[in-house]
């Protein structure tokens, strides 16, 4: 998939020196810009559909989004695995291993995406009905997904390339990957939906073209510029499958938990009528726009932790977690204020009324508190996935999606309607968010103690610029320790 590296030496491990706060802010900010661009145009796409004046179509796109999240979650899990493995290899100074792992990971990511798409397409009708789609909503949602869902393979490639770019510290080009998709969407959505009168089908076609741009820009940065993806080979993919899947499978399992929680919440909301479903669809699209920085921040923390673990810089790993938690709090404060001030105009913009308007207004009032704790959980999960404890991330995410969502959302709905369901979900988020961050610090301590026990003379101070060292592996490799309990 790529040519030989330009030089025999490994690219410098950028994150093992300099201010950890600066690394967190730069990687998080650039990631946020790219993600926010995608999410903003995604929200605009829903706005265009809402402007067609049919709440059924708005609800259909909302349900289709929930189904797509399952496929996207697979891609995110594979992207995290790519970033974790490549950044760790670069921290050790082994560029050859990094390039080979990148190539093998991308092949497996596309294969996984193809398998998920093949499984979902024949089951769209029953699945949409299961999560609460009404008979009049299902046909439009199914049409949208038959067009958009196969392009998940392109997204798998684009996200994989983005993971490689983040692993090498090229925040700008990683940002450009998502900006490319956002730009295409912003240009084509109004043209296809209104200009060519394609409606829901036009929105789906736009997604396909945007993901093609997504993959091409990622390829240009990871392969043509950095040459960090080797030419894939079947023997290498087979040999690397074990280490990759030991990170990817628990990570994918982790990322499947949020869509399960969303699907359950959508099912609960469906019991309150079409207006509530439309309001919930708007909230679902607004969440990544408002809090997309948290997704980007957790993605930014992973490579920083991975490189510093590879170099044995445990104090810098703790500093990275502290800095990321601080940035999370400041970010939430700013976004929450914006939501509080904008709840009236947002309700009018999407033409919501009645129960849908009430739900959006409640989200603007309470969303900041809910998502602060979600942000802490994201940081914890990023740590577990990149430091050899992905099963811990899976346990916490599934705990939040089940024990932290289902009983509390159900009870909240019975006591206070749709707003109560949303508040109930927030209560579970608070508990699991705090536990996640506490355990993240504990994981760093576990890794440091292992290093001291197996290599008493090891120096855990930051190495000289561009240099790293491999931490000792007391039980084989970090990946073999992935099932350990922190």
Res 401: pLDDT: 85
Q: Which residues of the chain have pLDDT under 50?
A: 1-10, 460-486
Inter-residue contact 408 to 429 (CB < 8 Å): no
CA distance 301 to 264: 29
3-state class (DSSP) for residue 262: helix
Inter-residue contact 237 to 107 (CB < 8 Å): yes
CA distance 393 to 251: 7
CA distance 194 to 187: 12
Q: Tokens standing for 268?
A: 């609960």
Res 22: pLDDT: 84
Distances (CA, A) of 229 to 83, 196, 233, 430, 466: 12, 40, 12, 40, 20
Give the residue carrying structure tokens 């491990």. 13
Name the residue among 65, 34, 48, 86 with its Cα closest to residue 310: 86
Which tens digit of pLDDT belongs to each residue from 321-339? 999 999 999 999 999 999 9
| Global confidence as pTM | 0.65
Backbone angles phi, psi at 473, to 5 degrees: -120, 95
CA distance 335 to 328: 11
Res 3: pLDDT: 38
Res 31: pLDDT: 65
């Amino acid at each position: 998939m790529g040519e030989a590296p330009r030089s025999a030496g490994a690219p410098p491990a950028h994150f093992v020196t300099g201010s950890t706060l600066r690394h967190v802010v730069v990687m998080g900010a650039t990631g946020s810009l790219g993600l926010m661009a995608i999410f903003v145009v995604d929200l605009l796409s829903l706005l265009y559909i809402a402007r067609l004046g049919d709440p059924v179509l708005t609800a259909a796109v909302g349900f289709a989004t929930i189904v797509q999240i399952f496929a996207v979650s697979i891609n995110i899990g594979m992207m995290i695995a790519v970033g974790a493995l490549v950044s760790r290899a670069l921290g050790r100074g082994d560029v050859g291993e990094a390039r080979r792992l990148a190539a093998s990971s991308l092949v497996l990511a596309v294969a996984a995406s193809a398998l998920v798409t093949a499984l979902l397409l024949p089951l769209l009708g029953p699945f949409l009905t299961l999560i609460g789609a009404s008979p009049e909503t299902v046909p439009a949602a199914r049409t949208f997904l038959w067009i958009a869902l196969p392009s998940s393979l392109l997204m798998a490639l684009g996200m994989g390339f983005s993971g490689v770019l983040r692993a090498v510290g090229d925040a700008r080009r990683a940002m450009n990957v998502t900006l490319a998709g956002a730009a295409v969407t912003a240009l084509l959505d109004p043209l296809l939906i209104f200009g060519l009168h394609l409606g829901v089908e036009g929105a789906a076609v736009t997604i396909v073209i945007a993901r093609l741009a997504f993959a091409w820009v990622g390829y240009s940065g990871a392969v043509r510029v950095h040459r960090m993806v080797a030419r894939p080979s079947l023997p290498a993919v087979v040999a690397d499958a074990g280490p990759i899947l030991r990170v990817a499978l628990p990570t994918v399992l982790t990322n499947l938990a949020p869509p399960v929680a969303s699907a359950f919440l959508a099912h609960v909301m469906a019991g309150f009528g079409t207006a509530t479903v439309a309001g919930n669809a708007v909230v679902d699209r607004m969440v990544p726009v408002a809090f997309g920085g948290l997704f980007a921040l957790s993605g930014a923390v992973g490579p920083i932790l991975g490189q510093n673990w590879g170099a044995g810089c445990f104090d810098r790993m703790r500093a990275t977690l502290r800095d990321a938690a601080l940035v999370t709090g400041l970010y939430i404060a700013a976004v929450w204020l914006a939501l509080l001030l904008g709840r009236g105009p947002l309700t009018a913009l999407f033409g919501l009324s009645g129960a849908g308007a009430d739900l959006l207004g409640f989200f603007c009032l309470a969303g900041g508190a809910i998502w602060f704790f979600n942000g802490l959980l994201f940081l914890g999960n990023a740590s577990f996935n990149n430091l050899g404890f992905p099963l811990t991330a899976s346990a916490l995410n599934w705990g939040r999606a089940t024990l932290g969502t289902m009983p509390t959302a159900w009870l909240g709905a019975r006591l206070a309607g749709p707003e109560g369901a949303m508040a109930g979900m927030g209560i579970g988020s608070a508990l699991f968010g705090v536990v996640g961050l506490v355990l993240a610090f504990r994981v760093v301590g576990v890794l440091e103690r292992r290093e001291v026990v197996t290599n008493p003379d090891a120096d855990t101070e930051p190495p000289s610029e561009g240099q790293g060292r491999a931490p000792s592996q007391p039980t084989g490799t970090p990946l073999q320790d992935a099932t350990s309990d922190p």
